[in-house]
Amino acid sequence: MAELDNLKKASAHAGPLPPKGSIPNISVDNLIFGLENGSLKVLLIRHNIDGKRKPWALPGGWIHFDEDLRDAAKRILHLHTGVEGVYLEQLKTFGKVDRLPFGRVATVAYYALVSTEKCPLIANDDRPDAMWCDIHDVPNLAYDHNEILDFGLKFLRHKIRHEPIGFNLLPEKFTLLELQDLYEAILDCTLDKPNFRRKMLKMKLLESCNEKQTGVAHRAANLYRFDAEAFEKLSSQGFSFEF
Amino acid sequence: MAELDNLKKASAHAGPLPPKGSIPNISVDNLIFGLENGSLKVLLIRHNIDGKRKPWALPGGWIHFDEDLRDAAKRILHLHTGVEGVYLEQLKTFGKVDRLPFGRVATVAYYALVSTEKCPLIANDDRPDAMWCDIHDVPNLAYDHNEILDFGLKFLRHKIRHEPIGFNLLPEKFTLLELQDLYEAILDCTLDKPNFRRKMLKMKLLESCNEKQTGVAHRAANLYRFDAEAFEKLSSQGFSFEF
DNA sequence: TACTCTTTTGGTCAAAATGACAATAAGCTT
DNA sequence: AAGCTTATTGTCATTTTGACCAAAAGAGTA
């Protein structure tokens, strides 16, 4: 049968194989951005196989036959790092012929923005090493994962100016200064505080919590939360977020 | 061998099979937008198999083992429609478990914007029917192709406001009114002529051809071309296209 | 309590951008 | 030459932006 030839070719590799029940030739990889003390991090893992440490990599793996792509990404992220409850968005599919040394595999990259404090990396004997790595100190990663990261970072910088996604990097309640620090960290620039505040508030996307920051040795700032409902409403009226 | 089980599962379908030399479980589909008389079109094809007409669909197909994703999309587009020389950008990968009635296939969707006059649909005995279909009159398409189209259309509307991609829908030399009509067609709104002109010219992305429009029964407008070089330069300085 | 320190928050002001619209210029047709 | 249509330029009030100043609020300390 002709198909069998193709199938053999598909699995003709000397590296990690897709386990039983998973689709050959496709994988998912997760690019998880986090914010910690005002600097941007990315979540990396390192497999230990037969006592040998593999290079750092994005957490990724194979897709089950009966599983949607995003579900697979979510499962694998949790499996490798213990991170749960993040909303994954598709970034791009990377499919160069030679991106892996074994066989032909296209990988669907997903990304998410989280606040690292809400995402503890829960170690476990079955799990690889995991770390939040500062975006400026990323080592050589496995396969084409540096390329995926570079693409994702550019994407993030563009996207944060045109869509209100930055809020995902912060805890639910945040101060305007925390939000501003986030923009400065991602865009790598400095912004004027009063002007930032004015522009952000005028969009009417922030709802005051009527609560103050605590534990600071100076005037406490007001806390806000992102008003997703207001955003939906405005969007449907043709509003377009800009920063 | 365990892998062979997976491989069989991968090809256990009763529908179109990936031919020998192609990757199972992944395909590409092309979403080609065109502009004709100020209205937005999309390129559709209809296969004839054993004299039976299949439903209209986006032009797509299987990827060769030794072929990059975009190359596959390009080859297949040409194969089915005769359209050549368009720049395809990746849109998104669609991979729901049940998106096809046979087997599990994720499809990487590519899109392009072209001026229809530059893209004649070259018929050929081996080719399916092909047409430029008005965006308002799209019929029920095969599989999840309507979903792909809807996603692509939303994507286009957002993107055209934030990146200078609209120029691809026009011939190399165009008038400001043609450009404005394009924006109005895609965004489905009306714009003020002098203001549109002012804003567009201020961005310094248009280079005058020092030529006039011909064949019109009134004052001929000046022709412009998109200055990609200027755009690159500005972009690298942090400039961000907005409309 | 009074004073200091730090950060939030509320302003001002000139410059630039926008939206609405009037007016002029250019080129074809009759 | 007159009329028609569209291109192009210009005006003006309003809004938004960028730079910067200053008052208000707490927390800690003398």
Q: B152-181, pLDDT tens digit by residue?
A: 999 999 899 999 999 999 999 999 999 999
Smallest Cα distance from A20 to chain B, Å: 6
For the record, the structure tokens of A1 come out as 């049968």
Nearest protein residue by Cα to C1' of nucleotide C27: B219
* Burial tier of B14 (Cβ tally within 10 Å: 0-12, 13-18, 19+): exposed
Supply the pLDDT for residue A139: 98
Q: From A46, A90, A97, A47, select the one nearest A72 (Cα to Cα).
A: A90
Supply the pLDDT for residue A3: 41
**Contact at CB, B20 and A5, closer than 8 angstroms:** yes
Residues of chain A predicted below pLDDT 50: 1-15
Span CA (B200) to C1' (C22), Å: 21
- With a CB cutoff of 8 Å and minimum separation 6, the contacts of A32 are A42, A43, A59, A77, A83, A86, A111, A112, A114, A119
* Burial tier of B113 (Cβ tally within 10 Å: 0-12, 13-18, 19+): buried
Q: A135-150, pLDDT tens digit by residue?
A: 999 999 999 999 999 9
> What is the DSSP track for B81-117?
H---S---EEEEEE--TTSSSSS--EEEEEEEEEEGG
Nearest nucleotide to A195 (CA to C1') is D18
Supply the pLDDT for residue B67: 97
Q: From B176, A233, B158, select the one nearest B167 (Cα to Cα).
A: B176
Q: Name A residues 156-215 whose Cβ lies under 7 Å from strand D.
A: 192, 194-195, 198-199, 202, 212
**Contact at CB, A106 and B108, closer than 8 angstroms:** yes
- pTM for this prediction: 0.89
Domain boundaries, chain A: 2-159, 172-237
Cα within 13 Å of Cα(A34), Cβ side: 21
Q: Which of A1, A4, A6 to mutate to test the interface with B (most CBs of B within 10 A)?
A: A6
Supply the pLDDT for residue A20: 84
> What is the DSSP track for B114-163?
EEGGGS-----TTSPEEEEEEGGG--PPSTTHHHHHHHHHHHHHHHHHHS
Supply the pLDDT for residue A8: 38
Supply the pLDDT for residue A240: 87
Q: By the CB < 8 Å criterion, does B17 face chain A?
A: yes
**Pair A194, A201: CB distance under 8 Å:** no
Answer whether CATH 3.90.79.10 is correct for domain B2-159.
Answer: yes
Q: B57-107, pLDDT tens digit by residue?
A: 999 999 999 999 999 999 999 999 999 999 999 999 999 999 999 899 999
Smallest Cα distance from A156 to chain B, Å: 14
Q: A72-100, pLDDT tens digit by residue?
A: 999 999 999 999 999 999 999 999 999 99
Residue with more model confidence, B16 or A185? A185
Pick among 1.10.10.10, 3.90.45.10, 1.10.357.10, 3.30.460.10: CATH of B172-237: 1.10.10.10
Q: From A170, A53, A195, select the one nearest A113 (Cα to Cα).
A: A170
Average predicted confidence (pLDDT) for chain B? 90
Q: From B158, B180, B162, B179, select the one nearest B170 (Cα to Cα).
A: B179
pLDDT above 70 coverage of chain B, percent: 94
At residue B16 the predicted structure's pLDDT band, cuts being 50, 70 and 90, is: confident
* B8 vs A contacts (CB less than 8 Å): 7
Q: Name B residues 175-214 whose Cβ lies under 7 Å from strand D.
A: 175-177, 193-195, 197-198
* Burial tier of B37 (Cβ tally within 10 Å: 0-12, 13-18, 19+): exposed
Q: By the CB < 8 Å criterion, does A18 face chain B?
A: yes
